[in-house]
Amino acid sequence: MESCFRFVHMFYLLIVVNLISFIIFGLDKRKAIQHQRRISESFLLTVTFLGGTFGAVLAMLIFRHKVSKKSFLWKFGVVILIQLVVFYFLKEKFKISSFL
């Protein structure tokens, strides 16, 4: 029961982080259109790394933001690979069940 409780909290946390990621990517696109000072790529990638991957991908597709920047897409891909490696090792260390 306790692990289910933790899973629910983690799920809610990921929803919030992805919502924030989506908003930040959308805000950066808006700033780009209005020729204002932009949000740095390193910050966008950091938010993505901290769990906002789905929000970032969704924002990139909906707002058509950063999808033609090959250097950003490479860095984005590296962030996703790092996340997968970290998740794998955490899964092994804490014996998380296979459905996660």
What is the biggest distance separating any 2 CA atoms in the chain, rounded to whole angstroms?
51
The helix/strand/coil state of 82 is helix
Residue 91 has pLDDT above 80, yes or no: yes
Return phi, psi of residue 35, to 5°.
55, 40
How would residue 19 be classed by pLDDT, with cut points 50, 70 and 90? very high
Mean pLDDT on 65-91: 93
